[in-house]
Amino acid sequence: MRSKKEVQLLEALEVAAAAQGFDLVDLEFAGSGKSTVLRVYINKDEGLTIDGIAGANAWISEVVERLDPYKGSYTLEVSSPGIDRPLRTWRHFERAVGEEAVITLESAQDSRSNASGSEKPHSDAGKDKKPRLKYTGLITSVDPDQLLVTLEADGIQHQLGFNQIRKAKIKGRLDFESRRDS
């Protein structure tokens, strides 16, 4: 759960990022005392460059200094989200359709359905009869009208309510085989 100050900082940085043509992926505070680090993860549709990240550091610093979310000193780190990028906003989930993800819910729920989308009775659920808190699988669709994310795991379609998602991230994969062939 984010503090009120973190939410204010996140909202202010989202506005500033959009104005600069960036997507604010997420932010986090790590460490404590003199070794506190504020990490701000940004992205662009066309990708990031070192110069782009360096330039973003200036406007991010301005927003952070203006809001002064935490007393004391901290180190600001601005970077790309990497291959295991977090999924925080509805837009992030829309862009992640077709990618493998790890999704953790606020509370365990039974969200199973079969390939046709109808509910699957508990007796047919096999080994996975208990409600789950964590899902790993392919994001197959998102439904903006019902705010549902559909994820296929173990051959079962799971419909997860966007508002029930505590944490989600892309499960990044590196493909070294295709580089050898080129």
Residues sharing a CB contact under 8 Å with residue 119, sequence separation 6 or more, in sequence order: 112, 113
* Whole-number Å distance between alpha carbons of 130 and 107: 12
pLDDT over 80 (residue 115): no
Query: Would the pLDDT of 43 be above 50?
Result: yes
> For residue range 130-142, what is the model confidence (pLDDT) as tens digits?
778 999 999 999 9
The reported pLDDT for the residue numbered 179 is 59
CATH topology match: 4-79 vs 90-170: no
Domain 4-79: assigned CATH number: 3.30.300.70
Judge: domain 90-170, CATH 3.30.1540.10: no
Q: Is the pLDDT of residue 32 over 90?
A: no
- The residue extents of the domains of the chain are 4-79, 90-170
What percentage of the chain reaches a pLDDT higher than 90?
58
pLDDT tens digits, residue range 57-114?
Answer: 999 999 999 998 877 788 999 999 988 999 999 999 999 999 999 999 998 877 655 4
Residue type, 144: P
Quick one: CA torsion of 55, 15, 160, 117, rounded to 10 degrees?
Answer: -100
pLDDT recorded at residue 182 = 54
**pTM value surpassing 0.75:** no
User: Residue 96 in 3-state DSSP?
Assistant: coil
Cβ-contact 9, 21 below 8 angstroms: no
